[in-house]
Structure 1
Amino acid sequence: MPRRIDLDQRREQLAEAVWSTIRRSGVGAVSVRTVAAEAGVAVGSLRHVFPTRAELLRFSAELMVRRATERVRATAPSGDASVDALALLRHLLPTQPDSRTELEVQLALIAEAPAVPALTAIRDQSVHQVRVLARHVVDSLAPELAPPRAEAEALRLAALTDGLALQLLAQPADAPVEWALDVLRDEIARLSALA
């Protein structure tokens, strides 16, 4: 069992090296050599774990989605639908170093999807998960909405959240984020009023 844990840790270490490379130099700089150097491992060691660049990128994207999903799932409900909605949606915004890094990497990997088709399924899964979360929030705030209207509101909420995330990413990491949270609060209030 310890060998399995070491392999899992090595995979995560290499994925994090991919993320660092993408943030510093862009996805075009990701190669077996550059990632091995970033991780401080021999090229042969990296190739043993990830024989190809595509496999390395795929795992890096999957790990990013998994970590973001775990953070959302770890959000403890408070019993107040509006408070819970904001807590959940906040995870989709780059307001913390981890979530900012994940969004930067996600956008780079989305841009790489035409060259690495394995990334397309991960991109689609990520989009689907955001829409499922948005639908959950809509259903919790306005449970009486008919399914077609609830689905439309969920798509609107997902699009709003994606737009806010891009706007936050375009500003410096230390810039205020409260304005984006206020936009979400306004949207949550609007959805609550539909109930």
Structure 2
Amino acid sequence: MSPRSTPEERREHIAQAVWAVMSERGLSAVSVRSVAAEAQVSVGSLQHIFPTRADLLIYSAELMIDRVVRRIAAEDRGGDPIDATLRLFAHLLPLTPESRVEMDVNVALIAESRALPRLEAIRDEAHRALAEACQRAVERVAPHLPPAVVERRAARLHALTDGIALHLLHAPPGGDQRWALDLLRQELEDLADGDGPAGRRP
């Protein structure tokens, strides 16, 4: 970390150290001291920015979500609705080393959320955001569906996305991951055609 780093750059550098400790050694290994060592800063310098372990975890969770949101916001939404939706949803799956660490950290933070109400709020907000993304995806891909069916298919897409993400997290890194987006594409194509559970045309 450069001495000329801005305050926000220093905060992000420390958050990345939190992710590294958590990903390599687990949530229980995260402490002010272990993160300071990983970030190569003094404990005093770190505590000046994040006085407690809870502060570290909360900021790290917020930054992780913000990074995903920024990647999605930068994605091209033009072209075929199914292709555009798949490009967006690819950012929600652990398909790259970066997003795999984010997912790994996210799962660990969910386990910690009961002890930290602020983390619980962040977890719930992320869940709502994904639910809304799924709703918009169904409306975009299958505008012919009535509202009640859109709601059911959005819940199905949400559950499918969560399930695929966990399967990818358990799979060895570097394996064939094409099945994940293929599965999502099939779901979206079924929606567009009006096929699948509760989605058939009348």
Regarding TM over 0.5, the answer is yes
Q: Which runs of 5+ in 2 are unaligned?
A: 195-200
Offset, 1:93? 1.1
Partner residue, 1:96? 96
Partner residue, 2:197? none
* Alpha carbons of structure 1 residues 38 and 96: separation in structure 2 relative to 1, 3 Å: same
CA displacement, residues 132-174 of structure 1 (integer Å, 9 cap, x when unaligned): 1111110101113222221111111011011001001101110
Partner residue, 1:191? 191
2:41 equivalent to 1:41: yes
Q: Which amino acid aligns with 2:41?
A: V
Structure 2 contact 77–85 (Cα < 8 Å) conserved: no
Q: Which amino acid aligns with 1:134?
A: C
Q: Distance in 1 between matches of 2:28 and 2:163?
A: 25
Q: Which amino acid aligns with 1:92?
A: L
Q: Which amino acid aligns with 1:126?
A: A
CA displacement, residues 41-91 of structure 1 (integer Å, 9 cap, x when unaligned): 011111110111111100000000000011111111232111111111111
Alignment of 1:107-118 (within 5 A): 107-118=107-118
Q: Distance in 2 between matches of 1:150 and 1:23?
A: 37
TM-score of the superposition, structure 1-length normalised? Answer: 0.95
Q: Which amino acid aligns with 1:68?
A: V
Offset, 1:100? 0.6
Offset, 1:193? 1.0
Between 55-64 and 124-133, the greater mean CA deviation after superposition:
124-133
Offset, 1:118? 1.4
Offset, 1:5? 6.5
Partner residue, 1:12? 12
Q: Distance in 2 between matches of 1:30 and 1:124?
A: 22
Structure 1 contact 17–38 (Cα < 8 Å) conserved: yes
Structure 1 contact 54–118 (Cα < 8 Å) conserved: no
TM-score of the superposition, structure 2-length normalised? Answer: 0.92
Tell me the number of residue pairs that the alignment of Structure 1 and Structure 2 aligns: 193
Counting aligned pairs with the same residue, the percent is 48
Q: Distance in 2 between matches of 1:155 and 1:184?
A: 14
What value does the CA root-mean-square deviation take over the aligned residues?
Answer: 1.5
Offset, 1:4? 11
By relative contact order (CA 8 Å, sep 6+), the higher-ranking structure is 1
For 1:82, what is the secondary structure of its paired residue? helix
Q: Which amino acid aligns with 2:25?
A: S
Higher percent of residues as helix: 1
Partner residue, 2:152? 152
Q: Distance in 1 between matches of 2:5 and 2:123?
A: 27
For 2:6, what is the secondary structure of its paired residue? helix
* Alpha carbons of structure 1 residues 193 and 19: separation in structure 2 relative to 1, 3 Å: same
2:75 equivalent to 1:75: yes
Offset, 1:125? 1.0
Partner residue, 1:142? 142
Structure 1 contact 141–192 (Cα < 8 Å) conserved: yes
